[in-house]
Structure 1
Amino acid sequence: MKRLCLLLVLCLGWPLAAQAQQTAEKSDTYQVHTGDEWVDAQLQDINHYAERFPDSFLDEVERYAGVSRGYIAALMYTHGWHAGDIYFACFWGKVTEHSCRDSVRAFSRHVPEEGGFVQWSDVVNDDLGTEPTNLHWRALRHAIVASHDHWDRPVELDATLKRQLGDREQRDKRARAAAAAAER
């Protein structure tokens, strides 16, 4: 009887879980407009990464944005949020000294023009109560590069990021030196 109940729960719940997961089809239709084309392209890539490696994506956001894994997983699996939007909401919250929940609420409250969709550029400029600065965008861009490095994914840096962060070999060398210094 217990097995029958378990089987029934799995059969009924599986289609719902499958609908909410990050899929290739869902990623292909994903549109993001933060106001920064480089960030938009990276969020698209993060979306595709999360469809193949959802646990690594959740680990990254939990560890480096400081957001509960349960909350992030609920956004992705229960509420059907795109991984790129989750990443942006949580890391934007971090760099602007808001919570991820503040960003999620602002995005959810924002009403797009008829026939349109919610754009992060409108949310960050109008709904979060913090005027975005170059320092916020720089911190977000650095976080995106760090995430790609953690995932061992290639990331194309623009000239400014190359000047600020160096190439992958230079970033890895600095990370090893920092880890060695922390062990002392």
Structure 2
Amino acid sequence: MNHRFHLLLACLLLLFAAAAAQGQDVAWEPRTGDALVDARLADVNRYAARFPEAFVDELVRYFDAPRPLLEDLLGKPATVPGDLYYACALARVSGRPCRGVLDAWIAGHEEGWEGIARNVGVVPGDARARRLRDGIAESYARWGRPLPDGG
């Protein structure tokens, strides 16, 4: 009887965790102004959940993000990896530090990432936005991961 109870409890916990993860993925909306980038950032969330070390390594190596900051923020329940990735990507194409863009996001993001991007000089469809989109494709190539949504 005790074994069955533990098995049932374990199954319920797994179902709850799956439902919570699915709910977070559905509720999270980066609102970058580019639907394809939004979809890729949602996929980045899934990748980072499965391979957190590779995710952090990518941001440290290719986006000059400070590892302690990333590890601290990823340890907080309200932090979404897609937000960290996009902040560091925006920082790279706008010539700003990742920490500064993250601070702007934390200070207020009622307009979504599109508002933050405009504040740092990145407008959907412009050259910087295209470089940002290309940078996402480069990350996927380094991760050996196919691009979602047809490339």
User: TM-score, normalised on structure 2?
Assistant: 0.76
Say yes or no: does 1:88 pair with 2:86.
yes
**Mapping of 1:45-60 within 5 angstroms?**
45-60=43-58
Residue 120 (structure 1) aligned to one of 107, 113, 126: 113
Q: Conserved in 2, the CA contact under 8 Å of 1:24 and 1:48?
A: no
User: Which protein is bigger by CA-based radius of gyration?
Assistant: 1
Give, in whole Å, the separation in 2 of the partners of 1:53 and 1:131. Answer: 29
Which amino acid is the alignment partner of residue 29 of structure 1? A
Partner Cα separation in structure 2 for residue 59 and residue 84 of structure 1: 15
Matched-pair identity in % = 31
CA RMSD of aligned residues (A): 2.1
Displacement of 1:86 in angstroms is: 0.2
Give the SS at the match of 1:78: coil
Structure 2 equivalent of residue 170 of structure 1: none
TM-score, with structure 1 as normaliser: 0.64
Instruction: Give the Å deviation of 1:111.
Output: 5.3
Give yes or no for contact 1:93–1:103 (8 Å, CA) kept in 2: yes
Instruction: State the partner residue of 2:138.
Output: 146
Structure 1: distance between partners of 2:79 and 2:25: 11
Deviation at 1:131, TM superposition (A): 5.1
Contact 1:27/1:82 (8 A) holds in 2: no
Runs of 5+ unmatched residues, structure 2: 1-19
Q: Distance in 2 between matches of 1:64 and 1:154?
A: 19
What 5-or-longer segments of structure 1 have no aligned partner?
1-22, 113-117, 163-184
Q: For residue 99 of structure 1, what is the aligned residue in structure 2?
A: 97
Give the drift of 1:75: 1.6
Q: Give the CA deviation at 1:80.
A: 3.1
Q: Which residue of 2 aligns with 1:64?
A: 62
Give a deviation string over 1:133-164, Cα, whole Å, max 9, x none.
Answer: 71111111111001111111111577xxx7xx
> Secondary structure of the residue that 1:34 maps to in structure 2?
coil
Which residue in 1 is equivalent to 2:32?
34
Q: Which has the higher contact order (CA 8 A, sep 6+)?
A: 2
Aligned counterparts of 2:132 and 2:122: Cα–Cα separation in 1: 15
